[in-house]
Chains A and B, each alone.
Chain A
Amino acid sequence: MQLGFLVDLHLCMGCKGCEIACKVENEVPLSTWRLRVKYVDVGTFPETKRTFTPLRCNHCENAPCERICPVSALHYIENGIVNIDKERCIGCAGCVMACPYGAIYIDPETQTADKCTYCAHRIASSMMPACVVACPVGANIFGDLEDPKSNISMYIQDHRDVQVRKPEKGTNPHHFYVGASQVNLNPLASRREEGYNLFNKITTLPLGGHHE
């Protein structure tokens, strides 16, 4: 079994239902996110549109976070999920430096690394990840990539524009997007300008450690 995600960006309307469901399900502390929906505005007024891209851990087949973790706190489980053992983690932040997608954060309460686990605990009880259940438009498609009859496999077969984030990194993500452009997937394809954020002056909780 190889579990994977696919987000159909044609369907996503940026409601952030998945983000909230994830927060609640996994008790993700304030100022940190396992899953977040990035908004990028494209065009020049009045010809503008807003794009939405849910971003989470890609559960890479060749995961740099797993490779660099000195104590195997990050590890693969048999269904392909890259899971984390917070009791094992020493908080070296090697994984934070290694993940090309910025998917890992240091939990300010436990001072250990954390990230999306595809809701491994729910899957163990034959439930879907919380974000899949919460999405009102079914934009999150989840299933076994090794089963050609699964929803996700059928979706991949039926669509030509299936993409992953940063394929050049060689991580082989198990998380796909349909209907994405560079603006959605490539951080260099958009600007980040002071004052353009919907929420400016975001405060983050102190992490401990020695960040600048």
Chain B
Amino acid sequence: MIHETLAATNAVVTLDVPLPDVFWGWFVTMNMWAKSIGTGLVFMLFLLLRKNASEMSGVRTSAIIVSFVMMNVFLLFTLADLHQPFRMWHIFFYPHWTSAITVGAWMATVFVGLEFLMAAMMIRKDKCLLTSDANATFDKLLFWVTLLAIPVTLYTAGIMAEATARELWQMPTESVQMILAATLSGSAAIILLGGSKLSDETKNFFASILGLSALLAFIIYMSEYIFGSMKAEEVTAILAYVKGDGEYATMFWIGQWVAYILPMILVALYRVSKSNSILTLAAILAIAGLWVVKHVWLVIPQLLPLS
């Protein structure tokens, strides 16, 4: 490893002006976090429809509206992060299809458009011009929106994979983490939105999704934390920011505890005690912690000088 030559060479950079550290900062974290909740809610609505359609009436409207709002938060922060936001239309008029940014922007736009239709249908049920049975049409559309939610969730992993400079982000792990972020935050959000409208059985079901998503995501982060350094020196250098007294070590562990470890414990407790407040706490922590986890993973590869 080249790092081991340092003792002999004592090489010190005495003049270089690398890029500013963090180019994609918390605006991009907001983007990923809001998108996870937005698409996650759609996944959960779809699962509810399959599992217990009679309970859909309690959450159809609220879940699609919250999902729509979160997707708009995602779009807003995406736009605000551009240095030339008024040129956003270039993506639609000069699309470059090898870019995951382009593919994602198009898919997210269609997704939000469909969600708008669904939300409008639910709000104006009585005056719905499109169909006589708004609920049935909603449920039919939900299938296609759920299908679309998969690539909309995944495309950010594609962007991270195309960021060749950042060795830490690998497509296989990032895509699984994106899906898990959606199932974690989606299940948490529907638990909060559904409240007493959901039966105990359904709550149990979503609690299991929450707990399992937390467990799997935690296992993957720990695998990267422990084994990532065994393959590439660059990854070792990046992970040093979350190890020992690294700059982001505290924040990394706060994220892991709040997003994954505590919700896992709380979900286990809920299954024993059936206490709704424990489940509510697990859901709130998972949503809040996810922001922290995403932020740390977004920032640390950017701290490594490239030259």
Q: Are B10 and A44 in contact (CB under 8 A)?
A: yes
Q: Are A70 and B164 in contact (CB under 8 A)?
A: no
Interface status of B220 (Cβ within 8 A of chain A): no
Q: Are A94 and B99 in contact (CB under 8 A)?
A: yes
Task: Give 1 or 0 for each of A94-108: 1 = CB within 8 Å of chain B CB.
Answer: 101111111001100
Among candidates B20, B22, B82, residue contacting A92 with C-beta atoms closer than 8 Å = B82
Q: Are B23 and A211 in contact (CB under 8 A)?
A: yes
Q: Are A196 and B14 in contact (CB under 8 A)?
A: yes
Task: Give 1 or 0 for each of A147-171: 1 = CB within 8 Å of chain B CB.
Answer: 0000000000000000000000111
Q: Are B11 and A40 in contact (CB under 8 A)?
A: yes
B164 cross-chain contacts in A, Cβ below 8 A: 64, 98-100, 169-171
Considering the complex, which residues of chain B in the window 183-236 have a beta carbon less than 8 Å from any beta carbon of chain A? 233-234
Interface status of A17 (Cβ within 8 A of chain B): no
From known contacts A72-B96, A171-B164, A188-B2, infer whether A50 and B14 are also in contact, taking CB-CB under 8 Å. yes
Interface status of B95 (Cβ within 8 A of chain A): yes
A105 cross-chain contacts in B, Cβ below 8 A: 19
Q: Are A97 and B83 in contact (CB under 8 A)?
A: no
Query: Is chain A's interface secondary structure helix, strand, loop, or mixed overall?
Result: loop
Q: Are B16 and A39 in contact (CB under 8 A)?
A: yes
From known contacts A72-B94, A211-B25, infer whether A40 and B306 are also in contact, taking CB-CB under 8 Å. no
Q: Are A90 and B88 in contact (CB under 8 A)?
A: yes
Nearest opposing residue in chain B for A191, CB measure: B12
Q: Are B82 and A90 in contact (CB under 8 A)?
A: yes
A77 cross-chain contacts in B, Cβ below 8 A: none
Q: Are A102 and B162 in contact (CB under 8 A)?
A: no
Nearest opposing residue in chain B for A60, CB measure: B164
Q: Are A71 and B96 in contact (CB under 8 A)?
A: yes
Q: Are B9 and A183 in contact (CB under 8 A)?
A: yes
From known contacts A70-B101, A90-B82, infer whether A207 and B20 are also in contact, taking CB-CB under 8 Å. yes
CB B127 to nearest CB in A, in angstroms, measures 39
Interface status of B91 (Cβ within 8 A of chain A): yes
Task: Give 1 or 0 for each of A178-200: 1 = CB within 8 Å of chain B CB.
Answer: 00001100111111110011110
Q: Are A38 and B307 in contact (CB under 8 A)?
A: yes
Interface status of A142 (Cβ within 8 A of chain B): no
CB B124 to nearest CB in A, in angstroms, measures 35
CB A172 to nearest CB in B, in angstroms, measures 12
Nearest opposing residue in chain B for A72, CB measure: B96
Q: In the docked arrangement, what's the CA distance between A208 and B88, Å? A: 17
Q: In the docked arrangement, what's the CA distance between A73 and B304, Å? A: 26
Q: In the docked arrangement, what's the CA distance between A188 and B237, Å? A: 8
Interface status of B50 (Cβ within 8 A of chain A): no
B234 cross-chain contacts in A, Cβ below 8 A: 188
Considering the complex, which residues of chain A in the window 81-137 have a beta carbon less than 8 Å from any beta carbon of chain B? 88-94, 96-102, 105-106, 111-112
Interface status of A1 (Cβ within 8 A of chain B): no
Q: Are A41 and B11 in contact (CB under 8 A)?
A: yes
Q: In the docked arrangement, what's the CA distance between A198 and B83, Å? A: 31
Considering the complex, which residues of chain B in the window 82-117 have a beta carbon less than 8 Å from any beta carbon of chain A? 82-85, 87-88, 90-91, 94-96, 98-102, 105
Q: Are A190 and B165 in contact (CB under 8 A)?
A: no
Residues of B in contact with A, size category: 35 or more
Interface status of B163 (Cβ within 8 A of chain A): yes
Interface status of A68 (Cβ within 8 A of chain B): yes
From known contacts A69-B99, A106-B83, A212-B21, infer whether A198 and B2 are also in contact, taking CB-CB under 8 Å. no
Q: Are B83 and A208 in contact (CB under 8 A)?
A: yes
CB A86 to nearest CB in B, in angstroms, measures 10
Interface status of A176 (Cβ within 8 A of chain B): no
Q: In the docked arrangement, what's the CA distance between A111 and B81, Å? A: 12
Interface status of A37 (Cβ within 8 A of chain B): yes
CB A91 to nearest CB in B, in angstroms, measures 3
CB A46 to nearest CB in B, in angstroms, measures 13
Q: Are B19 and A102 in contact (CB under 8 A)?
A: yes
Q: Are B102 and A98 in contact (CB under 8 A)?
A: no
B95 cross-chain contacts in A, Cβ below 8 A: 70-71
Q: Are A98 and B306 in contact (CB under 8 A)?
A: no
* B residues in contact (CB < 8 Å) with A: 2-3, 5-6, 9-27, 80-85, 87-88, 90-91, 94-96, 98-102, 105, 159, 162-166, 233-234, 237, 299, 302, 304-307
Q: Provide a sorted-by-A list of 30 A–B residue pairs whose CB atoms are within 8 angstroms.
A: A38-B16, A39-B14, A40-B14, A64-B162, A67-B162, A68-B159, A68-B162, A71-B91, A71-B96, A71-B102, A90-B85, A91-B85, A92-B81, A94-B101, A97-B24, A97-B163, A98-B162, A99-B306, A101-B307, A102-B306, A182-B2, A189-B2, A189-B3, A189-B9, A190-B12, A196-B12, A197-B16, A207-B83, A209-B81, A210-B25
* A residues in contact (CB < 8 Å) with B: 33, 36-44, 50, 55, 64, 67-72, 88-94, 96-102, 105-106, 111-112, 169-171, 182-183, 186-193, 196-199, 202, 204, 207-212
